[in-house]
Amino acid sequence: MLKNKKILLATSNKGKITEFKKIFNNFEIFPQGEFNIEEPVEDGLSFLENALIKARHGSIKSGMFSVADDSGIVVPGLDFAPGIYSARYAGENATDLDNRNKIIDELKALNKETLPAYYVCVLVGVHSKEDPMPIVASGEVYGEISIHSSGEGGFGYDKIFYPHGYNFSMATMDSEEKNRISHRAIASKLFLEKLESIRS
């Protein structure tokens, strides 16, 4: 049971921290950087495995209820890449722009302007390193990846991802709209429902 409303957020990604603070606005959020917690080695083969690695690592280092996400974009037409390698698709020290450009180049090599794609977020929360039943929730948002970049907001692949039902990229959305329809918002809503049921 979560004894207080304090959560260690097991990420150093500034974009994720900003989004999670808005979504988890009824909780006191502590990014792992405030405890000088380094990133663990993510050697899982799925979003779930990597999220669990990060959450357990955060809990071990802080002694707090720890929440981690692993997320990325999946393009079936590119053999389901980038997937769990989304953050480092163009190399270990790649920037968001580097990663987007790599996908754009791959689409152009296939003579495609767009391909179906979806964002995935898996959230995991653990109360301790021995927690036998982590809280797990996932969310997806479907759309298309495009060679045409637009928008100034968001991060990651948002500038080239166009969700179904929208004729503009996710990077064009204001934070309120993005936090309503995004993969992270969907996963977070389910996660909070499970967390509240445990706390009640």
Maximum pairwise Cα distance, the chain: 55
Instruction: Answer for the pair 187, 69: CB distance below 8 angstroms, yes or no.
Output: yes
Tokens 């692949």 correspond to: 157
* CA neighbor of 49 nearest in space, from 37, 57, 59: 57
HSE (CB half, 13 Å, CA atoms) of 81? 12
**Catalytic-residue membership of 158:** no
Beta strand ranges found along 26-75 (DSSP E):
28-31, 66-75
Distance CA 154, CA 175 (A): 8
Closest CA to 198 of 18, 12, 3, 14: 3
Contact assessment for residue 146 and residue 162, using Cβ atoms and an 8 Å cutoff: yes
Q: How far apart, in whole angstroms, are the C-alpha atoms of residue 184 and residue 63?
A: 25
Which of these is catalytic: 43, 70, 98, 174? 70
Catalytic residue annotation: 70
